Amino acid sequence: MAQIGVIVRLMERALQLLPVGSEPWKDMAKSMNQLARHVPPNPAMGGVENTAMKGIMQQQQQMAPLIAQMRGAPAAPSGPQPQPGPGA
């Protein structure tokens, strides 16, 4: 159930990116509400949820360069960038 709670929180964030009232927004809100019924109300994020959230975030970071490449966008640099030389 903890992972469902994580999914519901991710859906809440994604819902904010959609135009309110659009068909995707309505579908996401309906799905989110249906899933939320199965998550016990707990304001504090438990250890299992915290671990699951960290795992999801780590996967997203690892996949970001690949997704950016697939979309044709430049990937965010990983690591320190060289400083411009004098006179640059």
**Are residues 5 and 49 in contact, defined by beta-carbon separation less than 8 angstroms?**
yes
**Are residues 21 and 27 in contact, defined by beta-carbon separation less than 8 angstroms?**
no
pLDDT in tens, 22-72: 999 899 899 988 988 888 776 555 666 667 667 766 777 777 777 677 777
Under DSSP, the state recorded for 58 is H
Q: What is the rounded distance in angstroms from the CA atom of residue 20 to the CA atom of residue 31? A: 15
pTM: 0.47
Measured in whole angstroms, the distance separating CA 65 from the mean position of its chain's CA atoms is: 15
Secondary-structure percent of the chain, ordered helix, strand, coil, rounded to 5: 60, 0, 40
